[in-house]
Amino acid sequence: MAIRRGRGVAAINYPTGMNLGGDPTQALVHSTPTGNFMVTLSSVDLGQGMKQIMAQICAETIGVPTDRVIVDTADTDTGPHCMGTFASRGTHRAGNAVIQAAREARQVMLEVAAEELEVNASDLETDGQGNILVKGAPQRSISIFDVALSAHFKRGRSISGRGMFLIPRSYPEKETGAMKPSTCYAHACTVAEVEVDDETGEVTVLTVRNVFEIGRALNPKMVEQQLVGGSWMAISHALYETTEPYYPDRDHGGTDFNQYLMPGPGDLAQTEIIVLERPSADGPFGAKGPGEMCANPQIPAVANAVFDAVGVRIDTLPITPERILRALKAQASN
């Protein structure tokens, strides 16, 4: 009986969004009288940071500081249409819709500023700090605050825009069944190192090294947090979590979340995250969707590491000590 060490590798690609009849998302952007901007969506922030990213995308497109943008994820009764927050589609679909809406609002903003400065709108640019400047003559400028006041109370203009991003439905080819379910894919590879006690079946994950290709990281620190948390979640899926009791029958199962098996801080492996950026041609500023993919490659990597350590293949989750011991016993009897 011994502690055996193994290493496992797994690589995946993951579609951004889905295509089961078209995949649309809409967005609205409008200015307040004081020059702040409101983004209205029906896309829901589940804690992944969608509001922050949509604020960044809107601010970058209009040319204002991010803290001048407010994101309202209303609901399906009062907000513009969205298919939903799932399929790792939020940043890609909603982000593109916000860009369209923000561009339209920006154009109105520049037209109002042009009237105030008595120039052509095409001769204006923003400085990213809340001001609109005449190209080549930055001393001639006007604040976005003053432009918004003028639009509302003097010019009778609505600084607003509408955005609609749609991935058209992809129909299968009759002859081959081929179709295009997604316009871009993210990629990942994980290397996991484990120790397996071949007497007790206990698995200890030592290290998890992950490489993710996600298009472009619009907020690198938030991306890192998402990927690290997803990696830990995947280890929990691989080794711990289940709603089905298995010791030794259903009568011994947990009855609430206090008895739901999950790893604690001391069970988490040393985790490394490397992000590769290959901007997507149709992503907002090149972004893809890292959402669900972050918890995928670690599971087969751990399963492969267990196989490398003790020579048995466990193809049912979670990979419990009992299942490992049963597999070792079956292997020994053959």
Provide the 8-state DSSP code for 202: -
Neighbours of 255 (CB within 10 A): 8
Contact 15, 87 (CB under 8 A): yes
- Residue-wise DSSP of 139-162: EEEEEHHHHHHHIIIII----EEE
Between the alpha carbon of residue 123 and those of residues 40, 58, 120, 126, 188, the distances in Å are 29, 22, 5, 11, 44
Catalytic, out of 115, 224, 277, 292: 292
Q: How far apart are CA 48 and CA 86, in angstroms?
A: 11
Beta bridge partners of 240: none
Q: Measured between alpha carbons, how far is 191 from 7 in angstroms, rounded to an integer? A: 7
Alpha-carbon dihedral sign for residues 257, 259, 262, 267: positive
How many CB atoms are closer than 10 A to CB 232? 21
Is 175 assigned a catalytic role?
no
User: Which positions are catalytic?
Assistant: 292
